[in-house]
Structure 1
Amino acid sequence: MKEPTVAYSALELPVTLDDVQQAAELLESVIELTPVEHSRALTNALGSEVYLKCENLQRSGSFKVRGAYVRMAKLSAEQKAYGVVAASAGNHAQGVALAAEQLGIKARIYMPLGAALPKIAATKSRGAEVILHGATVDEALAEAKRYAEETGAVFVHPFDNADIIAGQGTIGLEILEQVPDVETIIVGVGGGGLLAGISVTVRALEEKLGRKIRIIGVQAEHAAAYPPSLAADALVPLKKVSTIADGIAVGRPGQMPFDIIKELVDDVHTVSEDDIARALIFLMERNKLVVEPAGSVPVAAVMDREIEKKYGNLGTTVCLLSGGNIDPMLMLKVIQRGLSAAGRYLTIKMMLQDRPGELTTISSIISSLDANVTGVDHTRVGGALSMGDVSITIDMETKGNEHCEEVLSALTDAGYQPIVVY
C-alpha cells in the first residue's frame, strides 16, 4: 500500500479524533471495557509480545454495539419514532438490537437465509423484528435500504457511516490505554468500519506517543475485496464471497471506510480457511477463549508468519478478537477442519476387497503407528462399487502432519490406496 502523500494532520477525513472521543463519552455507560489478555503461546511463537483485545467478551458478543449505539443515539426524536432498519449476518444485527433496546427504538433487522440460528435468536431476544431475506448480506442490505425508503425508517449501515466508524474507533482509544507500548495492531476487515475507526484514532494520537504504530487489516482470502480495491484505488466488488468467517463476508468495501483505510492503514493481508480454523482452535485450547471465525483472523495472520516475513519483528502486537458469536454447529465443523489442517485429525477413504480379515489388517497398521480410530463407515452397496468390493471411510486422531504421512505411507506400502477426505 502507498504511503500517505500528505501528513495525517492535513488529511481531510470524514471521521476525526474528536468524533471518536465524543463517541466514547456516549458509550461510557453502555459498553464493557473489554480486557486485554497476554498470549504466552503466541508470544513464544512470534518472538515478541502478543496481546489479545477481547471484544468477543463485549455486550452482545462483538464490537458492533459501539457503532450502532453511537449512530442511533444521535437520531432526532422524529427519526426515532420511525424506527430503524439494518441488515447483518449476525453481529451488527445484535448490536443494533441491543442499542434499540437501550434507546427504546423499534428495530427491524434483515438477515440472510443462511444466518446462524443462535444469532437470529439472540437478535429477537432483544425485541427486534427479524426478517430472513436473500442468500448474502449484500442482498439483505439492498432489501433493508428498500424498506427504509418505503417507510421512513432510519437505515443503520453496518460500516459505511461516520457515526458507526467513530463508535468502532473507541476500541483504538482503549488499546492505546491498555497497551501503551503497542507497536503493531492487527484487525479483521469486512466492510472496513472497524479498521477505519481504529486507524483514525491511532494515527491521530501517534504524535503524542512519539512513534509510528503499524496497522494491518486481515481478510479471509475468499472474501477479500480490499486488496484489489486498494490496488485499483477504487471499489472493486467481488463476484463471489465464500468463507467460514461470516462476520467479514462482505463483497464490497464501504466507500467511507475505504477512503480512510487507503490513507492510513499499512497493509491488508489475507488468510486461508484452514488458517482461520487453526487460529480458532488455538485460541480455544491455548488461551481458553471462544472466538468466532471472523474474530480469529488477526491471530491466523500472526500464526501464518507472512506479515512477520514482510515487515520483520512486529514488536509488541495487539490482535483484536472482534467477536465471539459462533453457531455451535459451525464450531463443530471448524474444529474438525482446524484439527485436520494441523494434522491432528485424519479421514481417509479406500476401496477394499470384500473378504475376511481386510479390516483387521488395516486396523493393525493404523494401531501400530499409534493413531486412534474414532469412526469407521463400511459400505458394500453403491453405484461406484463392483461386485466383491467395499468402500471404507476411517476417521482417526493423529499427532501432526508428519504422523499423518506415516499412516498414509504405511497403508500405501501395504498395497492400499488411501484417499484423504479431511
Structure 2
Amino acid sequence: MEEKVKIRAVLLGGFVVLLIAMGVGRFAYTPLLPPMMEQYGFDADDAGLLASLNYLGYLVGAFAAGALCRVLGEGRLLVVGLALSVLSTAATGLFLSLSAVGLLRLVAGLASAFCFVAASGAVLNALAREGRDGLAGLFYGGVGFGIVLSGLLAVPLLEQFNATGAWVALGLLSALLLWPVRGLLHGSPVQPRRKKAAAKPPLPRGGRFYRLVAAYGLEGFGYIITGTFLVAAAGTVFEAAGAAGVWIVAGCAAIPSAFLWSQAARRFGALPSLIAAYFLQAIGIALPVFFPNPVGVTLGALLFGGTFMGIVGMALATGGSLLPAGRARVIGLMTGIYGIGQIIGPFLAGFMAARTGSFDLSLIVAATAVCAGGLLLLPDALRGASSSSSPAP
C-alpha cells in the first residue's frame, strides 16, 4: 500500500512539474501572443525572435541538464528549474521592453528544459525501481493539461486584466501549484551522486540509437512548425475564438495520449507503436492543407495533439532503457537534439510562409519531416527491435 502511495505521489509530482514548466511556462505564450503584440508593441518579427529565444534556452538547458543532474542531483535541479519557471512567467507581466521579455523567454526555455529532463529522469527511475514503467505516460500528460489550462484561462484573464496581468496571474497560479511536487522530490536523489559521477557510463552507440536520436530530432522540427502555426493556419477556416479553440482541442488530445501510447507500446512493441504515432502525426499535420475546412483542421489538431506527447514518452523511454544508469544523460542528449529541430523549424517555416503567403508549404515540410522520422525507425522495427534491447553494433 505504501509503495502504491509513493508511486502516485511521484507521478502527481512529475505531472505538476510539466504542467508548470511546459504547459504554462512555455506554452502560455501561444494564446497570450496576440494581445502581447498589441499591448507591448511587438511586431511579427519581434514575436518570432521571442519564440526563438525560448527555443534557444530550451536547447542550452537540455544539453546542460544531464551534467547538472550528476552534479546537483535531480531533486535540486528540479527546484532550480521550477523557481526559474515561476519567476520568469510572473515577471513577463512586469516588463514591457523587448530585451527584458526576450531575456525572460530565454530563462523560461532554460527552466523548462531543466524541469523536463530532471523530472523525466526522476520519474522513469522511480517507476523502473518498482517495475511500473507502463505508468510513465501518465506523467507526460502534464504538458497537455497545462496547455488546456493556460488556453482556457487566457480569455478570462485577458478580459479581467490585460496581457501583463495575465502573465502575473499565471505565475502566481504556478506558485500555488508547487505543493504536490514534494512527492517527486522525496523520491528523487537530492544529493549529488559523486561516486557515480567519476565512472560516468558512456552513451549508447550503434545505428539503432543514432537512428532513434535522428528521428527524435526530425520530430522536434516537424512538431514545432505545427505547434507554432497551427492556430494561424486554423484562422483561415475559423474566426479568432474558433482558431484558439483548435489549440485547446490539441491540448485535450495530448493529456491522455502519452499513457495510451505507452500501453500500445507494451502490447505491440515500442518501435512499431512509435512508428505508428509518427505516421498518424504526419497525416494530422497535412490534413489542414488538403482539407481546409472545420472538419479537416479539427481532425488534424486531434491527431497532432494525440501523438506528440506519445512520441516524446515512447522515444525517451526507449532511449533511457538503453542506459538505465544514466537515463538523465540520454534524455538530455535526445531533448537537446529535439531542441535543435525546434530552432531550425520556425526559421525555415517563417521564411517559406513569408514568400508563399500561406502556411501550406510549411505544414507539408513538417509532415514530410515527421514521416521521414518514422521511416528511419522502420528497419529496426522490422528486425524485431524492442525498447529493452541493446543497441546494435
* Superposition TM-score tier, normalisation by shorter sequence: under 0.3
Choose between structure 1 and 2: higher helix proportion.
Answer: 2
Choose between structure 1 and 2: higher strand proportion.
Answer: 1
TM, length-normalised to structure 1: 0.22
Tell which has more relative contact order, 1 or 2 (C-alpha 8 A, sep 6+).
Answer: 2
